């Protein structure tokens, strides 16, 4: 199944996936670009890894990277992206003698690798997996930002109460820890649930863990 831009009735438009091709072989770049654009992808290409790194902040769904290039190799590019764009899914293009290298790339987090010359179906399947992983990563990042924004609206005391609630402490235990009444804990707890938009204790715990929220319980 190829990826297309769709606007079905009653549905939201699906954004056109934007893919980078990083390869020094101009003929390969032209051929792959033609294939991908014919299946609804937006394509931007780079002749080498160094040029791609200069534009690494570009909005992309994934990147199709050649293993062997003059200068920085595909594996070296992958290592550099680990700190700059760890969320960017990579698919590697390899020659028959590069499979061992491609396996190293997979172990380092690449989505897939395809051997040259590759069939269009194999290319599209690999990129669809990469696009899906990229969108999942973007969605997770947006959710973490949203949870952090909710958490930022809490007062210091509400954050203390939330931290203890997430640890599994009862209202009475929290009251003793913070030297306040159980009734006051109930009030703070209700405010926390409202501001964090959590419908249950289990959801509050998931939100806290998912966003890696940490708050000390020092004195107010």
Which CATH number do you get for residue 82?
3.40.50.2300
Within this chain, do residues 41 and 67 fall inside the same structural domain, yes or no?
yes
Residue 170 lies in a domain: yes
* Assigned domain for 53 exists: yes
Tally of structural domains, the chain: 2
Nearest Cα to 85, choosing from 30, 46, 141, 169?
A: 141
Q: How far apart are CA 46 and CA 23, in angstroms?
A: 7
Range of the domain at 161: 153-210
* Gap between the Cα atoms of 126 and 20, Å rounded: 14
- Domain identity same for 167 and 115: no
Q: Helix, strand or coil for residue 103?
A: helix
Same domain, 159 and 135: no
- Pick the last residue of a domain from 107, 141, 175: 141
Q: Check whether residue 102 and residue 174 sit in a common domain.
A: no
For 116, residues 6+ apart whose C-beta sits below 8 A from its C-beta are 28, 93, 94, 95, 96
23 with 103, same domain: the answer is yes
Model confidence over 28-54: pLDDT tens digits? 999 999 999 999 999 999 999 999 999
Contacts of 199 (CB under 8 A, 6+ apart): 193
Q: Are residues 126 and 27 in the same domain?
A: yes
Among residues 108, 141, 174, the one where a domain terminates is 141
pLDDT tens track, the chain, 220 positions: 333 333 333 333 346 889 999 999 999 999 999 999 999 999 999 999 999 999 877 788 899 999 989 999 999 999 999 888 888 999 999 877 777 887 888 888 889 989 888 899 999 999 999 999 888 888 888 888 999 999 999 999 999 999 999 999 999 999 999 999 999 999 999 999 999 999 999 999 999 887 776 554 554 4
Cis peptide before 117 (omega within 30 of 0): yes
Q: Give the three-class secondary structure for 181.
A: coil
Please answer whether residues 102 and 111 qualify as being in contact, where contact means their C-beta atoms are separated by less than 8 angstroms: no
pLDDT by residue (tens digit) across 115-133?
888 899 999 999 999 999 8
Count each helix (H run) and each strand (E run) in the chain, helices first.
9, 5
Look-up of token digits 């402490």: 169
pTM over 0.85: no
Q: What is the rounded distance in angstroms from the CA atom of residue 135 to the CA atom of residue 150?
A: 23
3-state secondary structure of 63: strand
Of 119, 141, 163, which closes a domain? 141
The verdict on 159 and 137 lying in the same domain is no
Asked if residue 118 is part of any domain, the answer here is: yes
């Amino acid at each position: 199944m190829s990826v297309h831009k769709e606007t079905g009735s009653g549905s939201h438009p699906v954004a056109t996936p934007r893919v980078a091709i990083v390869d020094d072989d101009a003929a390969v770049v032209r051929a792959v670009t033609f294939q991908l654009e014919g299946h609804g992808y937006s394509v931007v290409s780079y002749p080498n890894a160094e040029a791609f790194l200069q534009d690494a902040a570009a909005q992309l769904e994934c990147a199709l990277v050649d293993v062997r290039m003059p200068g920085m190799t595909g594996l070296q590019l992958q290592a550099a992206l680990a700190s700059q764009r760890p969320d960017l899914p990579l698919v590697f293009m390899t020659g028959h003698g590069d499979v061992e290298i491609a396996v190293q790339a997979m172990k380092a987090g690449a989505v897939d690798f395809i051997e040259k010359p590759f069939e269009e179906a194999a290319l599209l399947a690999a990129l669809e997996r990469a696009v899906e992983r990229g969108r999942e990563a973007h969605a997770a990042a947006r959710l973490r930002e949203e949870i952090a924004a909710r958490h930022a609206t809490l007062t210091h005391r509400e954050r203390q109460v939330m931290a203890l609630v997430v640890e599994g402490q009862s209202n009475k235990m929290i009251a003793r820890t913070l030297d306040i009444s159980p009734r006051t804990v109930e009030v703070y707890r209700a405010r926390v649930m409202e501001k964090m938009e959590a419908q249950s204790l289990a959801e509050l715990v998931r939100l806290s863990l998912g966003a890696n929220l940490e708050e000390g319980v020092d004195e107010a």
